[in-house]
């Protein structure tokens, strides 16, 4: 049987994301029934992962040998993994001939990326877990040279609003890794649920992991509920398994503990954390809670203890500490908190927000870790080691880079995949902005209007590979700009109450995100040749999503069973918000100089 027909009518390979260079050759590599793989010792994790996936999908035996060990007696190998320092960071050269397959890389990250491309070349069967006798392991001869545009290619998943079981989290990571994404932002705590087990504070999950009911939709006027308890928590061993599972696929897991706002679940468990002094409860509605942490010295110590246990579980250099949407009205109404701000010499009570995050970020820094905050957390109190995730727009990320912080672009205007995928009347629980596949594909982390406002960043915008994976990058020195590490998409789950709903919201738009973050910079605006070409490749790529078991949104709209009729939603108008606020963003929680709360979202 011929190899899987991955090429389109014009002969282009339907790889997603698109590689930098492809050269097709005549001939086919037909794998023997017993495969021998030689890999440099540093590349063995990627070689073994590919071997396991390949043995499961095809009726072949795969033997992996350490090429650096004299004990490797096999003179020739069918597949080789070789280190060559001339290859670009996280990139690879993949050569398939009639007699062998060779993968040449500078590092393990490149080897992981190469194996995912090799799986795509093999076709959808490579992503299944059982062989078919009529589909052999065979690949057309080809040479591919490839490397990423950005080092940080992330996907965020919220398991606080709706819990995702361990096996579904690992499946989510598998699917992301198959598309060259390498950072999994694990949002573990919020007002509606605390999922992280802690030995020192067991009630955080005993109390904070459960709520009696959940809001359905996002209507503010006629709030409806599903009258069913919801909850879930992981064990520490579950989390260690998730970290190891991700690592074996070239993905880093970054946990997030969101403070000092979005903490009602923690306050329900430990009322002394509250700024109001009143007992709390795990929230059953969506939105922003007005009760936030009391930013006392005692509560700083509480969350330093929390982070100490987080660092025992997660090996990521980066640890998320939140910092978004923090109302300060409860602080201003509490005389003790006002006095606390004065004793610290702060200009206002609101400055306790930055001070609190700064204390935790400095604690992480003392342990060789780096804090990651949402863009509201960018203040003078934040150490330069902290990374800023720009979510309300792009401008905050540009400001962060200019001030010496590394930044990640994650603007809700483009990369919030829980927002509706189109204006189709049957979109389920249609919230936020309408963002199509084409819109997401066109994402530019530093668009011209932002560069015009921050011309110092023009050289960053034009770079093919801004930085190696950020754990390898030193913090900027005083007076230096930070780096644009990359970008990430967000999947918030207020309105995604099952893995099927998460699949629908995420895919195939995440494939477009992967293309924008991996492939070389090019204009992918809707209607361009690049956009049309991607959509054509995507149609050939959908069978791979099918093989992965992803219940994605069909390109022409939802299946009947994917709809959620009868739910009233509030939708936002992107054009009006961009006209009002541009890339500064109109969303999120804001306060004026008098402390009055407001939002500009429309």
For the domain bounded by 21-146, which CATH number is listed? 3.30.379.10
Q: pLDDT value at position 472?
A: 66
Q: Looking at the predicted structure, is the pLDDT value of residue 590 above 90?
A: no
Strand 214-216 versus strand 224-226 pairing type: antiparallel
List of residues 6+ apart from 189 with CB closer than 8 A: 160, 195, 196, 256, 257, 258, 262, 263, 265, 266
Per residue in 539-555, is it b (16+ CB within 10 Å) or e — as a string? ebbbebbebbebbbbee
Interval 37-65 mean pLDDT: 97
Largest CA distance in the chain: 78
Q: Report which DSSP code applies to 468.
A: S
Q: Are 599 and 586 in contact (CB under 8 A)?
A: yes
Q: Are 551 and 358 in contact (CB under 8 A)?
A: no
- The H or E element that residue 293 is part of is none
Q: pLDDT value at position 478?
A: 85
Q: pLDDT value at position 270?
A: 98
Cα(41)–Cα(491) distance, integer angstroms: 36
Q: Tokens at residue 52, please?
A: 């396991």
Interval 240-252 mean pLDDT: 98
Q: Looking at the predicted structure, is the pLDDT value of residue 465 above 60?
A: no
Q: For 551-587, how does the pLDDT look when each residue is reduced to its tens digit (9 = 90+)?
A: 999 999 999 999 999 998 999 999 999 999 999 999 9
Cα(99)–Cα(118) distance, integer angstroms: 15
Q: Looking at the predicted structure, is the pLDDT value of residue 462 above 70?
A: no
Cα(565)–Cα(562) distance, integer angstroms: 10
Q: Are 148 and 113 in contact (CB under 8 A)?
A: yes
Q: Tokens at residue 129, please?
A: 């877990």
Q: For 68-78, how does the pLDDT look when each residue is reduced to its tens digit (9 = 90+)?
A: 887 665 678 99
Interval 289-302 mean pLDDT: 96
- The H or E element that residue 3 is part of is none
Q: For 201-227, how does the pLDDT look when each residue is reduced to its tens digit (9 = 90+)?
A: 999 999 999 999 999 999 888 899 999
Q: Looking at the predicted structure, is the pLDDT value of residue 228 above 60?
A: yes
Categorise residue 11: left if φ over 0, alpha if ψ from -120 to 50, beta otherwise: left
Least confident range of 95-109, 126-140, 578-592: 578-592
Q: Are 106 and 91 in contact (CB under 8 A)?
A: yes
Cα(157)–Cα(228) distance, integer angstroms: 23
pLDDT band at 314 (very low <50, low <70, confident <90, very high): very high
In 10 A of CB 458, how many CB atoms? 12
Q: pLDDT value at position 450?
A: 93
Q: Report which of residues 464 and 111 the model is more confident about.
A: 111
Encode 328-346 in three state secondary structure: CHHHHCCHHHHHHHHHCCC
Start-end of H helices in 34-182: 44-57, 108-122, 166-177
Strand 484-491 versus strand 152-158 pairing type: parallel
Q: How far apart, in Å, are the Cα atoms of 577 and each of 219, 264, 286?
A: 19, 29, 21
Cα(411)–Cα(582) distance, integer angstroms: 12
Q: pLDDT value at position 466?
A: 46
Q: pLDDT value at position 222?
A: 85
Domain residue spans of the chain: 21-146, 152-598
Cα(73)–Cα(59) distance, integer angstroms: 24
Please state, for a pLDDT cut of 90, what percent of the chain lies above it: 87
Q: Report which of residues 475 and 530 the model is more confident about.
A: 530
Report CA torsion sign: 203, 204, 209, 215: positive
Q: pLDDT value at position 307?
A: 98
Least confident range of 187-196, 251-260, 480-489: 480-489
CA dihedral angle for residue 522, residue 394, residue 493, residue 255, rounded to 10 degrees: 100
Interval 450-473 mean pLDDT: 70
Cα(500)–Cα(511) distance, integer angstroms: 17
The residues with which 95 forms a beta bridge, in sequence order, are 102, 143
Q: Are 270 and 201 in contact (CB under 8 A)?
A: yes
Phi, psi of 443, deg, nearest 5 = -55, 130
Interval 422-436 mean pLDDT: 96
The label of the residue with tokens 């606390």 reads: 340
Please state, for a pLDDT cut of 70, what percent of the chain lies above it: 94
Cα(317)–Cα(315) distance, integer angstroms: 6
Beta strand segments in 147-209, E = 152-158, 183-187, 189-190, 193-194
The angle at the Cα of 371, spanning 365 to 377, to the nearest 5 degrees, equals 125
Q: Looking at the predicted structure, is the pLDDT value of residue 332 above 50?
A: yes
Interval 509-536 mean pLDDT: 96
Q: What is the mean pLDDT of the chain?
A: 94
Q: pLDDT value at position 458?
A: 83
Is residue 483 helix, strand or coil?
coil
The label of the residue with tokens 């006629």 reads: 222
Length of the chain: 602
Q: Looking at the predicted structure, is the pLDDT value of residue 511 above 80?
A: yes
Query: CB-side exposure of 178: number of CA atoms within 13 Å?
Result: 27
For the domain bounded by 152-598, which CATH number is listed? 3.20.20.80
User: The whole model's pTM is what?
Assistant: 0.97
């Amino acid at each position: 049987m011929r190899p899987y027909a991955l090429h389109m009518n014009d002969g282009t390979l339907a790889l997603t994301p698109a590689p930098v260079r492809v050269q097709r050759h005549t001939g086919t590599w037909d794998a023997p029934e017993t495969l021998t793989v030689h890999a440099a010792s540093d590349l063995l994790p990627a070689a073994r992962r590919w071997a396991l996936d390949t043995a499961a999908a095809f009726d072949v035996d795969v033997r992996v040998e350490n090429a650096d060990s004299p004990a490797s007696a096999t003179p020739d190998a069918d597949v080789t993994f070789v280190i060559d320092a001339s290859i670009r960071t996280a990139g690879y050269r993949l050569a398939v001939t009639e007699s062998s397959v060779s993968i040449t890389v500078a590092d393990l990250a490149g080897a992981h990326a190469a194996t995912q491309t090799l799986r795509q070349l093999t076709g959808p069967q490579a992503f299944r877990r059982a062989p078919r006798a009529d589909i052999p392991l065979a690949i057309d001869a080809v040479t591919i040279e490839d490397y990423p545009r950005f080092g940080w290619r992330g996907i965020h998943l919220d398991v606080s609003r709706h819990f995702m079981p361990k096996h579904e989290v690992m499946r989510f990571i598998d699917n992301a890794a198959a598309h060259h994404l390498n950072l999994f932002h694990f949002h573990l705590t919020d007002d509606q649920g605390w999922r992280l087990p802690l030995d020192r504070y067991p009630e955080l999950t005993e109390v904070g992991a459960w709520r009696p009911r959940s809001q359905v939709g996002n209507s503010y006027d006629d709030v409806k509920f599903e009258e069913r308890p919801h909850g879930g928590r992981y064990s520490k061993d579950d989390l260690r398994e998730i970290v190891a599972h991700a690592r074996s696929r070239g993905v880093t897991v970054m946990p997030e503990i969101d403070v000092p706002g979005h903490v009602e679940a923690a306050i329900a468990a430990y009322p002394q954390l509250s700024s109001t002094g009143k007992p709390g409860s795990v929230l059953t509605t969506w939105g922003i809670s007005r009760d936030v942490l009391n930013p006392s010295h005692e509560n700083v110590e509480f969350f330093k203890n929390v982070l100490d246990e987080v660092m025992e579980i997660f090996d990521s250099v980066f640890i998320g500490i939140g910092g978004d949407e923090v109302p300060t009205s409860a602080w201003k109404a509490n005389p003790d908190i006002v006095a606390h701000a004065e004793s610290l010499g702060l200009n206002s009570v609101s400055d306790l927000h930055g001070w609190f995050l700064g204390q935790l970020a400095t604690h992480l820094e003392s342990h060789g870790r780096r804090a990651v905050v949402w863009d509201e957390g960018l203040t003078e109190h934040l150490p330069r080691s902290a990374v800023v995730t720009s979510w309300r727009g792009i401008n905050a990320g540009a400001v962060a880079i200019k001030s010496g912080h590394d930044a990640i672009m994650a603007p809700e205007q483009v990369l919030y995949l829980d927002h509706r995928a189109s204006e189709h009347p049957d979109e389920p629980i249609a919230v936020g902005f309408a963002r199509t596949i084409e819109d997401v594909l066109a994402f530019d982390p530093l668009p011209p209007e932002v560069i015009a406002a921050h011309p110092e960043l023009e050289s960053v915008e034009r770079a093919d590979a801004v930085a190696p994976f950020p754990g390898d990058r030193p913090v900027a020195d005083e007076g230096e700009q930070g780096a644009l590490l990359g970008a990430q998409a967000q999947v918030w789950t207020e309105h995604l109450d099952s893995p099927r709903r998460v699949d629908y919201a995420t895919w195939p738009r995440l494939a477009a995100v992967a293309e924008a973050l991996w492939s070389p910079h090019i204009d992918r605006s809707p209607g361009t040749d690049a956009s049309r070409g991607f959509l054509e490749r995507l149609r050939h790529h959908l069978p791979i999503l099918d093989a992965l078991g992803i219940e994605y949104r069909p390109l022409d709209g939802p299946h009947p069973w994917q709809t959620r009729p009868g739910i009233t939603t509030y939708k936002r108008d992107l054009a009006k918000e961009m006209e009002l606020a541009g890339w500064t963003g109109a969303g999120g929680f804001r306060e004026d100089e008098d402390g009055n709360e407001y939002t500009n979202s429309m």
